Amino acid sequence: MGASCVGIDASRAVSAAPTGTEGYSYHLIRALLPQLTPRYTVRLYFREPPAPEAFPHAEQRIIPSSRLWTHLRLSAELWRHSPDLLFVPAHVLPPVRPPLTIVTVHDLGYRAFPQAHTVGQRLYLELSTRWNVHVATHILADSQATREAIVQTYHAPPEKISLVYPGYDQRLEPERDREVLAAMRGRYAIPGPYILSLGRIQPRKNLARLVGAFAQLAPRYPELTLVLAGPPGWLSEPLHARVREWGLERRVRFPGYVAEEDKAALLSGAELFAFPSLYEGFGFPVLEAQACAVPVLTSTTTSLPEVAGAAALLVDPLDEAAIARGLERLLTEPALRQQLIARGAANLARFSWQRAGQTVAELVEQLLP
């Protein structure tokens, strides 16, 4: 009898502009493969071909993209050639699947913050997540906050859900080369000192309040710029309107998606990193800023205190004045800045893709002895 086959939905692991879920899929699958391939046949399902050698020692099935890829195309492939176990790292199980399944539920943001989604998105996410929780053999959660939310919302047995912290990109480190930093400033048109926020431009990131807080500081710091980096998302235009209302068009920059090769320089050059999000299933940008030795301001809500640990200044994200006070403290208190930077370096030791891959591999071995 041949080795058992582990199938992995790798459709989100190939992206020209990866954000949180795409990065999670890419890094976790790469960490998982060395743990699985000595014992199992591993089959990866893609919409488009990955980079050569990105995922070694695994079978690759390229299934051309379609609008209902998971429900139709992936299901058809699984019907014809079913693995013994299917792992889906990006939220949605296909209707046709093997008896053993593992799925990652990243967050329940559509419930906590419904105004950030269309009615159609909310309905789809509600139904698909409820379905996942009901039919999956096992569920992974990125944070204890998300794990508790799944248990409370969908009455899932706690023993069915494992907390598996993601890692962070360990290639990120402080960029000190002045020429590199100057070139980055030129590419992104950043003239002087700046506060950075990084993530998709959408309401749940709470950027309107961050702009309001910055407006309180702007008269006292005439050289300071607020850089809101990330691709546009749902309802991003009202944020641009608010910037115009405050008359801050020259002080608030929207550079769009940040290429991976620019991220370390953009983070390292910032005076501080501001991430006052209303809801996060995990919050990768907090760790990325800590990896680049930048003091972090973030929220007291959902997973963010859990991820940031004692290495960030926490504020009430609903209190614009509190955000402004926190920004000013990080701009003007050198001892606090250095303390948070040092704690950030220590905090990073809690998060590792290799450890996450090992944990998932151990779970696979429990299900496929």
Q: Are residues 67 and 126 both part of a single domain?
A: yes
Q: Which pTM does this prediction carry?
A: 0.91
In this model, does residue 17 exceed pLDDT 80? no
In this model, does residue 65 exceed pLDDT 80? no
We report the CATH number of the domain holding residue 356 as 3.40.50.2000
Contacts of 193 by beta carbon, 8 Å cutoff, 6+ apart: 221, 223, 224, 225, 271
Q: Are 310 and 347 in contact (CB under 8 A)?
A: yes
Domain of residue 237 covers: 178-350
In this model, does residue 7 exceed pLDDT 80? yes
- 3-class DSSP state for residue 257? coil
In this model, does residue 321 exceed pLDDT 90? yes
Q: Are residues 157 and 277 both part of a single domain?
A: no
In this model, does residue 1 exceed pLDDT 60? no
Residue 319: both structure tokens together: 């209190």
Phi then psi dihedrals of residue 160, to 5 deg: -85, -10
What is the pLDDT at residue 235? 72
* Angle (CA) 272 257 225, round 5°: 35
pLDDT band at 127 (very low <50, low <70, confident <90, very high): very high
In this model, does residue 46 exceed pLDDT 90? yes
Q: Are residues 296 and 358 both part of a single domain?
A: no
Q: Are 63 and 80 in contact (CB under 8 A)?
A: no
In this model, does residue 35 exceed pLDDT 90? yes
In this model, does residue 349 exceed pLDDT 80? yes
Percent of the chain beyond pLDDT 70? 99
Amino acid at site 49: P
Q: Are residues 63 and 161 both part of a single domain?
A: yes
Distances in whole angstroms, Cα of residue 109 to Cα of each of 229, 285, 325, 361: 21, 17, 27, 28
- In the predicted model, what is the mean pLDDT of residues 188-194? 94
Q: In whole numbers, what is the pLDDT of the chain averaged over residues?
A: 93
CA distance linking residue 315 with residue 330, whole number of Å: 12
Q: Are 194 and 269 in contact (CB under 8 A)?
A: yes
CA distance linking residue 19 with residue 69, whole number of Å: 20
173 is a domain residue: no
172 is a domain residue: no
